[in-house]
Amino acid sequence: MNKEPIRYPITESFTSIQGEGFHSGKGATFIRVAGCNLRCPWCDTAYSFDLAKARWMNTKEIINEIKMPHQHIVITGGEPTLYDLGSLVQELHKRGKYVAVETNGTNPVPDEWGIDWITASPKPGNEYALACRADELKYVVDDKFKVEYINQRAVPEGRVFLQVESGRPESAQKAYDLIQHYPERCLRLGIQLHKVLKVR
Ligand SMILES: C[S@@+](CC[C@H](N)C(=O)[O-])C[C@H]1O[C@@H](n2cnc3c(N)ncnc32)[C@H](O)[C@@H]1O
Ligand SMILES: Nc1nc2[nH]cc(C(=O)O)c2c(=O)[nH]1
Ligand code: SF4
Ligand SMILES: [Mg+2]
């Protein structure tokens, strides 16, 4: 009996530059899923929480309807690991795409999904725990953030980004100071380039 194709609740998709982390500056198409298991107080994408506003799309619809001019695809959210991404990644790979995922690190990411790049951003609401392997870590530097929360050994050197929270100067100063104070950690400053450029 034919299995129903898996469907994903898509909040939005758009092409921009990757504004965050290791691949910053690359042209990329973003596929944003709806729903999240956390509620970060400063989340800049709270509009993605509402599943009622999402369009449920199967893999074929996503592939056929979303324009993907670049090789780089970012599956983000909301929280993408709430869904089985295996079939979507497989279809994107068939079209030669490089698939990155942005996750809050609360769930495992099965190797079988075949994701090419995992950006994990551990969160205060989850005690900064990390349940998946990661290619880079991104910590939003809010008032509560401490360098002790960094899971330094989870990624190679130079892959830990201290991301300025909501563009706040105090957060930028705190991130800068931490980078200077802990040179042995090779921390990197994360500024959301798309917010500087005022693009999506
Ligand atoms: C909207 S989240 C979606 C993916 C996933 N839920 C996560 O948190 O990684 C994408 C990225 O934006 C970051 N982010 C969210 N709100 C932010 C804010 N106000 N300032 C800076 N970064 C923010 C998150 O930490 C994460 O790295
Ligand atoms: N340009 C741009 N880069 C991004 N990198 C991660 C984003 C996200 O919301 O996951 C994001 C985003 O929303 N826009
Ligand atoms: S985990 Fe990500 S999407 Fe969820 S509330 Fe936090 S920043 Fe927003
Ligand atoms: Mg964003």
Q: Distance of alpha carbon 44 from its chain centroid, rounded?
A: 12
d(CA 181, CA 90): 43
**Maximum CA extent, the chain:** 61
Q: Is 69 left (phi over 0), alpha (psi -120 to 50) or beta?
A: alpha
Residue 3: the pLDDT is: 82
The answer, yes or no, to whether any atom of ligand 1 lies below 6 A from the CB of 103, is yes
C-alpha 44 to ligand 4 mean position (Å)? 6
Q: What is the C-alpha to C-alpha distance for residues 104 and 114, in angstroms, rounded to an integer? A: 18
- Looking at the CA of 31, name the nearest ligand: 2
Q: Is the CB of 18 under 6 A from ligand 1?
A: no
Q: pLDDT value at position 2?
A: 75
What does pLDDT average to over the chain?
98
Q: What is the pLDDT of residues 106-165, one digit of tens each?
A: 999 999 999 999 999 999 999 999 999 999 999 999 999 999 999 999 999 999 999 999
User: Structure pTM?
Assistant: 0.98
- The answer to whether the beta carbons of residues 63 and 18 sit under 8 Å apart is no
Domains of the chain with bracketed CATH: 7-196 (3.20.20.70)
Q: Which atom of ligand 2 is nearest to the CA of 45?
A: 9
Cα of 18 vs centre of ligand 2, distance in Å, is: 6
